[in-house]
């Protein structure tokens, strides 16, 4: 495409983000804004993009990412931007890097490394720390061009440490003065462009030192003080991660969030998944959510359309043999040397014996091979339980450990296994289907930028379209129009960005042109392109003919064009004057 600021996308099947049936139309883009959507538009001086036989959607809005560090050292938000995402939201789960005193850099790096599996050395080298306050952080992010728009929430953990110092690390109760100061800082951040505030009450989240996160037991008055500041500002969303089931009072924990939402009027979302140790527990939380919603409270559950779990491999953070002494002894070897050693029959036999012994004990690194599957190419995220390594072992008479070992040695030692940990207790995505269909859920939980060596769920938009919209045979599919609406206008409205997510005149020209029949995920792969050569998992896709950000083509057939028109989104954005879009904000 030329530098022409007028583009005519000709003859595509438009899925406009509103939920309306798809229709054939032309789309005229002028100066980054959609100027017209109609049949057979005639205009002079426009660059023509032929979309006949292709699907055109709004750019996807990913409301749950952890690119807080990556946005400061990198311009491309891969892997999210490889999957049609044009707007991301950072600061989720209350972890991030601002505000921050210079003396607390190490503490926040240790926290992010432990909670989100981002190597410390990556952050130590990558973060320039040319900020202290949250407004200064936004300015630092805005100083770098990006391939997506970035909206940021204020994360609770650094906020608490900034105000309370070591008392926050020790998880002491905030004083009235502490709460007042935190509230003032959040108000200033909202005024500077933060789109909300996020916290975590998850017991399992710990820093690399093993200490629970500073916010895990923050009292209701602390959260209320902060949310009242957002109420005063008149905008801002509230995002929560909570181990509801570990509080021994699910109803009481949810009731607190309901009171906070009712008093502040701020929209709230929380993470919801099917827990394998309590496969029906999600229903009660969704019932409480529905009761709150029916009472007029803007509470939504963030859900995922595929199992969340871990990728296992010899080039990843974890393998089924992590914890076996003979395997762990190889951890510091260069990859090629490690794989060559793992191919040694004597080393293989020793590791397999240690793993088998561990599986017969009540402790150690033994794993349930009934929930471990080969990651095929293309991958499947609803595998048949008969294809688990446990069942393959029964069918072949070969030990499950040996099957796992040999599969991971394939592809030059880069073979990958998949171990679902949530949303797959019954070996089916039917519970996810129920969650996705519920009126009080939103699509999220991709975690782009985090868990660099164990997951790559940022690719979920492609799963939603290709699997749920086209390929699923083990249960009901979802209408493509519903999927697109959920990933565009619904998510945009939830965070107050009313200027995007719909293909209609006046809206921001963030668009995807997709060859729907060809849309397909690739198998995850390990790259070492983070600062200091840090490792992460990425996942490409076929079928994205073009992604357009603010009227500029940023990707063609999955390859970057070099254009970086994205930037920081400063706070809630109004809808186009004639759009009449409704929202919580």
**Residue length of the chain:** 585
pLDDT at residue 3 tops 60: no
pLDDT digit string (tens) for 310-326?
999 999 999 999 999 99
Say if 579 falls within a structural domain. Answer: no
pLDDT of 550 higher than 90: yes
The pLDDT score that the predictor gives to residue 500 is 98
Residue 29: give its domain's CATH number: 2.30.40.10
Q: Three-state SS string across 404-425, please?
A: HHHHHHHHHHCCCEEEEEECCC
- Residue 90: CA count within 13 A, CB half-sphere: 30
Q: So what's the pLDDT on residue 359?
A: 75
What are the pLDDT digits (tens) for 196-217? Answer: 999 999 888 888 888 899 999 8
- Give the model's pLDDT for residue 205: 85
- Residue 582 counted as domain residue: no
Question: Is the separation of the CB atoms in 108 and 97 below 8 Å?
Answer: yes
pLDDT score of 367 = 79
pTM of the model: 0.95
Average pLDDT over residues 127-140: 98
Closest to 16 measured CA to CA, from 48, 56, 50: 56
d(CA 34, CA 458): 27
Tens-place pLDDT, residues 288-301? 999 999 999 999 99
pLDDT at 2 over 80: no
- Would the pLDDT of 365 be above 60? no
- 349 and 459 inside one domain: no
Task: Read off the pLDDT band of 4 (50, 70, 90).
Answer: low
Q: Which 3 state secondary structure label does DSSP give 56? A: strand
* Final residue in a domain of this structure, among 439, 460, 494: 494
Say yes or no: 287 and 319 in one domain: no
Is 299 a domain residue?
yes
Please give the span between the terminal C-alpha atoms of the chain, in angstroms, as a whole number.
Answer: 37
In a domain, 574, yes or no: no
Q: Please provide the average confidence, as pLDDT, over all residues in the chain.
A: 95
For residues 278 and 300, state if they share a domain.
Answer: yes
483 and 350 within one domain: no
Q: How far apart are CA 163 and CA 185, in angstroms?
A: 9
- Judge whether residue 362 has pLDDT over 80: no
Return the CATH number at 119: 3.20.20.140
Q: Is the pLDDT of residue 246 over 80?
A: no
Residues 20 and 75 grouped into a single domain: no
Does residue 567 sit within a domain? no
Query: Rounded distance, CA 237 to CA 565, Å?
Result: 25
73 inside domain: yes
Same domain, 264 and 357: no
Distances (CA, A) of 268 to 43, 324, 424, 481, 564: 44, 43, 26, 25, 31
Looking at the fold, whether 315 and 302 belong to one and the same domain comes out as: no
Question: In angstroms, how far apart are the furthest CA atoms of the chain?
Answer: 74
The token pair that represents 52 in the structure block: 């006949």
Helix (H), strand (E) at residue 122:
helix 120-126
Q: Does 342 share its domain with 372?
A: yes
Half-sphere exposure of 484 (CA within 13 A, CB side): 29
Helices (H), 265-371: 281-294, 325-328, 335-342, 345-359
Q: Which of 494, 512, 539 delimits the end of a domain?
A: 494
Hey, how many other C-beta atoms are within 10 angstroms of the C-beta on 562?
A: 8
Residue 572 lies in a domain: no
Cα separations in angstroms, 318 against 113, 208, 209, 215, 419: 15, 16, 19, 27, 11
Of 422, 441, 458, the position where a domain reaches its end is 422
Domain span holding position 411: 310-422
Cα Rg of the chain (Å, integer): 24
d(C-alpha 211, C-alpha 112), whole Å: 12
With a pLDDT cut of 90, the percent of the chain lying above it is 90
pLDDT, position 66: 96
Burial 138-177, CB ≥16 within 10 A → b, else e: bebbbebebbbbbbbbbbbbbbbbbbbeebbbebeebeee
Same domain, 192 and 278: yes
Asked whether residue 350 falls in the same domain as residue 257, the answer is: no
Percent of the chain at pLDDT above 70?
96
What's the pLDDT at 204?
Answer: 80
Cis-peptide, bond into residue 378, ω within 30° of zero: yes
pLDDT for position 577 = 86
* Cα dihedral 461/466/467/471 (nearest 10): 170
Q: What is the pLDDT of residues 38-60, one digit of tens each?
A: 999 999 999 999 999 999 999 99
Indicate the number of domains in the chain.
Answer: 3
Assess whether 450 and 324 both reside in one domain. no
| pLDDT, position 239 | 98
62 has pLDDT over 50: yes
Nearest to 488 by CA among 60, 22, 34: 60
The model's confidence at residue 162, banded by pLDDT at 50, 70 and 90, is: very high
* Cα–Cα dist 88/63, whole Å: 6
Q: Of the ranges 240-249, 487-496, 521-530, which one carries the lowest mean pLDDT score?
A: 240-249
Domain assignment present for residue 82? The answer is yes
Spatial CA neighbour of 439 closest among 489, 490, 484? 490
CA distance 490 to 487: 7
- Claim to verify: residue 91 and residue 204 sit in the same structural domain: yes
């Amino acid at each position: 495409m030329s530098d022409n600021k007028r583009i005519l996308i000709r003859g595509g099947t438009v899925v406009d983000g509103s939920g309306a049936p798809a229709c054939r139309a032309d789309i005229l883009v002028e100066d980054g804004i959609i100027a017209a959507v109609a049949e057979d538009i005639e205009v002079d001086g426009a660059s023509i993009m032929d979309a006949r036989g292709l699907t055109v959607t709004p750019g996807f809005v990913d409301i749950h990412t952890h690119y807080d560090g990556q946005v400061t050292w990198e311009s491309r938000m891969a892997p999210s931007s490889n999957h049609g995402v044009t707007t991301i939201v950072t600061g989720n789960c209350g972890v991030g890097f601002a505000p921050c005193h210079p003396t607390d850099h190490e503490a926040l790096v240790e926290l992010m490394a432990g909670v989100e599996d981002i190597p410390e050395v990556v952050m130590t080298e990558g973060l320039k720390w040319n900020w202290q306050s949250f407004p200064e952080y936004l300015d630092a992010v805005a100083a770098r061009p990006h391939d997506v728009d970035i909206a940021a929430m204020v994360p609770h953990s650094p906020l608490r440490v900034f105000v309370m110092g070591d008392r926050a690390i020790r998880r002491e109760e905030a004083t009235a003065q502490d709460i007042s100061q935190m509230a003032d800082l959040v108000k200033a951040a909202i005024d500077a462009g933060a789109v909300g505030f996020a916290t975590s009450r998850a017991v399992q989240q710990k820093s690399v030192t093993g200490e629970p996160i500073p916010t895990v037991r923050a009292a209701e008055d602390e959260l209320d003080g902060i949310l009242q500041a957002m109420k005063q500002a008149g905008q801002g969303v509230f995002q929560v991660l909570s181990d509801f089931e570990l509080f021994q009072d699910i109803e009481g924990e949810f009731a607190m969030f309901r009171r906070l939402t009712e008093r502040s009027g701020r929209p709230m979302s929380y993470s919801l998944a099917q827990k394998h140790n309590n496969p029906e527990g999600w229903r009660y939380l969704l019932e409480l959510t529905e009761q709150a919603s029916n009472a007029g409270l803007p509470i939504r559950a963030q859900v995922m359309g595929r199992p969340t779990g871990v990728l296992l491999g010899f080039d990843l953070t974890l393998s089924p043999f992590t914890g076996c002494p003979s395997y762990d002894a190889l951890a510091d070897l260069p990859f090629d040397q490690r794989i060559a050693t793992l191919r040694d029959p004597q080393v293989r036999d020793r590791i397999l014996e240690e793993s088998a012994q561990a599986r017969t004990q009540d402790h150690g690194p033994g794993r349930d091979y009934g929930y471990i599957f080969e990651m095929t190419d293309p991958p499947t995220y609803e595998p048949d339980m008969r294809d688990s390594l446990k069942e393959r072992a029964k069918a072949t008479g070969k030990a499950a450990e040996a099957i796992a070992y040999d599969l991971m040695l394939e592809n030059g030692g880069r073979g990958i296994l998949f171990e679902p940990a949530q949303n797959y207790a019954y070996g089916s995505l039917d519970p996810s289907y129920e969650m996705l269909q519920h009126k009080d859920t939103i699509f999220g939980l991709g975690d782009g930028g985090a868990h660099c060596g164990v997951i790559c769920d940022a690719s979920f938009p492609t799963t939603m379209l290709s699997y749920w919209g086209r390929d699923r045979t083990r249960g009901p599919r979802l209408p493509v129009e519903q999927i697109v609406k959920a990933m565009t206008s619904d998510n945009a409205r939830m965070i107050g960005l009313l200027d995007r997510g719909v293909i209609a005149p006046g809206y921001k020209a963030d668009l995807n042109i997709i060859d729907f029949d060809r849309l397909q995920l690739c198998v995850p792969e390990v790259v070492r392109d983070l600062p200091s050569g840090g490792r992460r998992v990425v996942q490409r896709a076929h079928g994205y003919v073009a992604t357009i950000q603010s009227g500029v083509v940023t990707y063609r057939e999955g390859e970057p064009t070099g254009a970086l028109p994205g930037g920081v989104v400063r706070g809630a954005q109004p809808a186009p004057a004639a759009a009449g879009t409704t929202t919580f904000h």
